[in-house]
């Protein structure tokens, strides 16, 4: 059993969210959104297209993404996102997706890691043998960020850092004393009764906060990359199985406007201190907390 200190967000001074209509024009900016086919991710793709950014919708299903891209184009007067195939449950696919993007683009300004995998069984594993929720939500995104990090560095401008926004959840706080790495693979530890789909999901979100905080602390201002952890809100989950999972039903449902505001604030926030959001945990609606 691995033990970590508390990472419950300490709520700070309320900030003013960047409303959709107040977002700056993003002509020339390149954005990747994982989980952009539906839910919150789709809304983010749409909004950034409306602001003239070049948007890549990263998803494992070409069919679903093609439909979503066409529908968004109808809603945005012909603005099309680009499809980037990405299967977060296979680290080989993550590597290939990043390499494919690096061959197409010479800059990357915003990376939204919000794809979310929720399963109601413990019998699902990634291609590398990790729990499907931990593997997709945490490991897959972590590798994707690392593969694209050099491009994020080279895309920064004066007082305008590039940004990585990684979705966690308030349920991460339940895992601070029971994170069991051995249970994240097919081992005896996984067969214990207290290891459930719920605790595994909480573990994936806990690990996101830990890794995001670690990366933010290891990132130098000279790199010009801001890494923030965002509370995704329950409606951000893009799984048809959610309604069948009891622990999800117990979670509160923040307003979509609040969730949107948090993501848009993190992505376009301008300040005299451009690294104000570095290593911060943002909750609804756009309040800054600390991960400690």
pLDDT tens digit sequence for 46-77: 999 999 999 999 999 889 999 999 999 999 99
Catalytic residue among 97, 155, 168, 286: 168
Report the mean per-residue pLDDT for the chain.
78
- Asked whether residue 133 carries a pLDDT value surpassing 80, the answer given is yes
Q: Are 184 and 124 in contact (CB under 8 A)?
A: no
User: Does the residue 35 lie in any domain?
Assistant: yes
* Exposed e or buried b per residue across 163-189, where buried means at least 16 C-beta atoms within 10 angstroms of its C-beta: bbbbbbbbbbbbbbebbbeebbbeeee
User: Does the residue 5 lie in any domain?
Assistant: no
User: Does the residue 259 lie in any domain?
Assistant: yes
- Asked whether residue 238 carries a pLDDT value surpassing 60, the answer given is no
pLDDT for residue 16: 35
Catalytic residue among 205, 265, 280, 281: 205
- Asked whether residue 28 carries a pLDDT value surpassing 70, the answer given is yes
**No. of H helices and E strands in the chain?**
8, 9
User: Does the residue 100 lie in any domain?
Assistant: yes
Banded pLDDT at 90 (limits 50, 70, 90): very high
201 counts as catalytic: yes
- Asked whether residue 23 carries a pLDDT value surpassing 50, the answer given is yes
Banded pLDDT at 287 (limits 50, 70, 90): low
pLDDT for residue 180: 78
User: Does the residue 3 lie in any domain?
Assistant: no
pLDDT for residue 255: 40
pLDDT for residue 221: 65
246 counts as catalytic: no
Q: Which helix (H) or strand (E) holds 280?
A: strand 280-283
pLDDT for residue 264: 76
Q: Are 32 and 209 in contact (CB under 8 A)?
A: no
In angstroms, the CA 108 to CA 29 distance is 7
DSSP H helical segments within the chain, as ranges? 39-50, 62-75, 91-104, 132-134, 141-154, 197-218, 246-249, 256-268
- Written as six digits, the tokens of 84 are 């980037």
pTM here?
0.83
205 counts as catalytic: yes
Catalytic residue among 149, 201, 265, 281: 201
In angstroms, the CA 47 to CA 49 distance is 5
Banded pLDDT at 146 (limits 50, 70, 90): very high
pLDDT digits (tens, 9 = 90+) for 246-283: 333 333 333 444 556 667 777 776 666 777 788 787 77
pLDDT digits (tens, 9 = 90+) for 176-215: 656 777 888 888 888 877 788 888 888 888 888 888 888 8
User: Does the residue 178 lie in any domain?
Assistant: yes
Half-sphere CA count of 39, side-chain side, radius 13 A: 20
User: Does the residue 94 lie in any domain?
Assistant: yes
- Written as six digits, the tokens of 187 are 């081992």
pLDDT digits (tens, 9 = 90+) for 183-192: 888 888 888 7
Domain that holds residue 42: 10-290
Query: What CATH code is carried by the domain that includes residue 78?
Result: 3.40.50.720
Banded pLDDT at 160 (limits 50, 70, 90): confident
Q: β-pairing, 30-34 with 225-231? A: unpaired
Helix axes 256-268, 39-50, angle to 10 degrees: 50
Number of domains in the chain: 1
Cross-strand partners of 113: 34, 166
Instruction: Give which of 288, 214, 241, 267 is closest to 117, Cα–Cα.
Output: 241
User: Does the residue 59 lie in any domain?
Assistant: yes
Contacts of 271 (CB under 8 A, 6+ apart): none
């Amino acid at each position: 059993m691995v033990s970590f200190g508390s990472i419950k967000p300490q709520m700070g001074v309320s900030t003013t969210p960047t409303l959709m209509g107040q977002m700056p024009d993003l002509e020339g900016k390149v954005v990747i959104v994982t989980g952009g086919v539906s839910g919150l991710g789709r809304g983010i793709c749409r909004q950034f297209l409306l602001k003239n950014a070049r948007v890549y919708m990263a998803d494992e299903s070409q069919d679903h993404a093609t439909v979503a891209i066409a529908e968004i184009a109808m809603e945005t007067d012909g603005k099309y996102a680009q499809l980037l195939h990405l299967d977060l449950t296979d680290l080989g696919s993550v590597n290939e997706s990043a390499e494919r993007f690096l061959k197409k683009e010479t800059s990357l300004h915003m990376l939204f890691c919000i794809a979310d995998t929720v399963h109601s069984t413990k019998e699902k594993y990634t291609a590398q043998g990790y729990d499907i929720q931990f593997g997709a939500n945490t490991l897959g995104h972590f590798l994707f960020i690392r593969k694209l990090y050099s491009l994020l560095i080279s895309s920064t401008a004066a007082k305008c850092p590039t940004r990585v926004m990684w979705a966690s959840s308030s349920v991460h706080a339940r895992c601070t004393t029971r994170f069991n790495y051995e249970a994240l693979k097919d081992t005896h530890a996984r067969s214990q009764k207290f290891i459930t789909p719920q605790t595994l999901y909480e573990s994936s979100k806990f690990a996101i906060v830990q890794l995001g905080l670690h990366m933010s602390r290891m990132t130098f201002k000279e790199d010009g990359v801001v890494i923030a952890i965002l509370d995704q809100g329950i409606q951000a989950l893009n799984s048809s199985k959610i309604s069948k999972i009891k622990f999800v039903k117990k979670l509160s449902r923040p307003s979509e406007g609040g969730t949107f505001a948090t993501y848009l604030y993190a992505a376009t926030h301008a300040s005299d201190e451009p690294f104000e959001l570095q290593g911060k945990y943002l909750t609804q609606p756009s309040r800054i907390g600390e991960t400690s």
